[in-house]
Amino acid sequence: MKKYLTTFIVFLFCIPALFAGTFDLGITLGTNAHFYENNQDNDMVKLAWGATFGITDVLEFDIQANSQLVPQFFGSTNVAVLVQRTIQGERNTGKKVAGIGLNSLLGVGVMFTDYQQTGILLPTHLLVSCTPYTLGSPYSGKRERLLSLTLAYNMYTNQVSLMFDLIKYDYYAIGSYRDWE
Per-residue pLDDT of the chain (181 residues), as tens digits, is 555 555 555 555 555 544 444 578 899 999 988 887 766 666 667 899 999 988 888 889 999 998 888 777 777 888 999 999 999 888 776 666 667 788 999 999 999 988 777 777 888 899 999 999 999 888 788 999 999 999 999 888 888 989 899 999 999 888 777 766 6
Domain assignments of the chain as residue spans, ordered by start: 2-179
- In this prediction, residue 42 carries a pLDDT of 62
Triad 14, 18, 23: Cα angle to 5°: 100
Q: State the architecture of 2-179 in CATH terms.
A: Beta Barrel (2.40)
> What is the phi/psi pair of residue 155, to 5°?
-70, -20
Q: Distance between alpha carbon 56 and the CA centroid of its chain, in Å?
A: 17
* Secondary structure (DSSP) of 103-134: EEEEEEEEEEE--STT-S-EEEEEEEEEEEEE
At residue 178, the 3 state secondary structure works out as helix
Does the global pTM surpass 0.85?
no
- In this prediction, residue 166 carries a pLDDT of 92
